[in-house]
Structure 1
Amino acid sequence: MKLYFAPRTRATRARWLLEELGVPYELVKLDLSRQENSTPAYLAVHPLGEVPALVEGDVTLLESLAICLHLADRFPEKHLAPPMGSTERGPYYQWMVFAELTLDPVVMAFHQHAQLPEEEQASAHSAEELAKHRTRLAAVLDVINGGLGDREFLVGGAFTAADVVMVSILHWANTLKLLDGHPRLAEYVKRHAQRPAVRRAVSG
């Protein structure tokens, strides 16, 4: 099994899950600043030159969410996904997809705004757009906060790949100061970001 990876990208969540699983894999690091993701060799793996990509035998998987879903099911003995047919399976799918398709885009909007020149950030149009994003973010975080409740994990009573995906995106939000006013979510992120597998996933 081979994971194509670059630091501070969505590939980190796939690497984190592999470290949680404790299964052998080869890590192929790509230096995006040197455009190593644009070489003919890597474009043969991922035609868009994005990370991550997971290669296992004759199968190549793109998209971090698909990789996490696959890996959690690939090793059921590791218990990082609820069993098929269990009452937790539906909520597990829900939170995986909610994190990727509902939370991630609004966090990305704030990230992109922060990259704008100061004069563009201060423009009336930008301020109006940012206000819309803040309203959306507040609603999204309220849904996550309500779903998590007072539990340590999103689904059932155990850590799953849903926590990996959700925490990875909420951690990004936290670095952008977007979890201010949401202490329970900030604590959820802090607790799971201290897991040994996370430290291994972000090292080197």
Structure 2
Amino acid sequence: MKLYFAPRTRATRARWLLEELEVPYELVTLDLARQENTPPEYLSVHPLGEVPALVDGNLTLLDSLSICLHLADRFPEKHLAPPPGSSDRGLYYQGLVFAETRLEPEVMAIYENAQRASDANTRRHLAVVLDTLDAALGTRDVLVGGTFTAADVVTASLLHLANTLKLLDGHPRLVAYVRRHTQRPAVRRAVSG
């Protein structure tokens, strides 16, 4: 497997999951400031010139969520996805989709507008999203069942950004969730040079 990666992008999720799996992979780091994502060689891998891209044999995936889903299923013995057909699997899908479609757009809107006053409606909607996530987490350490999954990788990565932007005030359980998961050894390997 080969992961095309750039630091501080959604590619970190894919790298984090690869490190959790402890499987061999080749890391190709692209310097986006130097436009290393625009030569024809890379555009033949990812036509949009974005990261991440994962090449796994004849399969190429171009989105961090699809990469995480694929990797968790490709290595079922690592238990980073609940078994298909289980009720936990439904909650796992819900956690991944909620993070990607509800949490990420709100956090990214605030992140991208950090230089300007943030839209009050966006902040109010984010508060509802965070309250919903907080309630879903409850007193558990993980989103689904009793074990860390790819849903935690995606959610914790987004909540880490939200915490960095000081958006988790009033949500101490979410702050604790972020801290717990971003201290995992795989995260340290994923964000290291």
For normalisation by structure 1, the TM-score amounts to 0.93
2:135 counterpart (136, 140, 146): 146
Give, in whole Å, the separation in 2 of the partners of 1:112 and 1:60.
29
Query: Do residues 135 (structure 1) and 124 (structure 2) align?
Result: yes
Amino acid at match of 1:102: R
Q: Which runs of 5+ in 2 are unaligned?
A: none
Query: Do residues 96 (structure 1) and 85 (structure 2) align?
Result: no
Give, in whole Å, the separation in 2 of the partners of 1:110 and 1:39.
31
Give, in whole Å, the separation in 1 of the partners of 2:70 and 2:59.
11
Partner of 1:174: 163
SS at the partner of 2:113? helix
- 1:107-165 CA distance string (max 9 Å, x none): 01101111x3xxxx2xxxx56xx100111000000110000000001000000000000
- 1:84-113 CA distance string (max 9 Å, x none): 111100000000011011100000110111
SS at the partner of 2:174? helix
Give, in whole Å, the separation in 2 of the partners of 1:106 and 1:93.
19
Shift of 1:57: 1.1
Give, in whole Å, the separation in 1 of the partners of 2:105 and 2:71.
24
After TM superposition, list the pairs within 5 Å mapping 1:1-204 onto structure 2: 1-114=1-114, 116=115, 121=116, 130-204=119-193
- 1:161-199 CA distance string (max 9 Å, x none): 000000000001111010111111000000110000000
User: What percent of counterpart residues are identical?
Assistant: 73
Shift of 1:83: 0.4
SS at the partner of 2:37? helix
Amino acid at match of 2:182: A
Give, in whole Å, the separation in 1 of the partners of 2:82 and 2:143.
11
Runs of 4+ in 1 over 3 A off after TM superposition: none
Amino acid at match of 2:24: P
- 1:8-46 CA distance string (max 9 Å, x none): 000000000000000000000000000000111110000
Give, in whole Å, the separation in 1 of the partners of 2:86 and 2:30.
39
Give, in whole Å, the separation in 2 of the partners of 1:100 and 1:28.
25
Work out the number of aligned pairs and report it: 193
Give, in whole Å, the separation in 2 of the partners of 1:47 and 1:156.
38
Give, in whole Å, the separation in 2 of the partners of 1:151 and 1:88.
14
Q: Which runs of 5+ in 1 are unaligned?
A: none
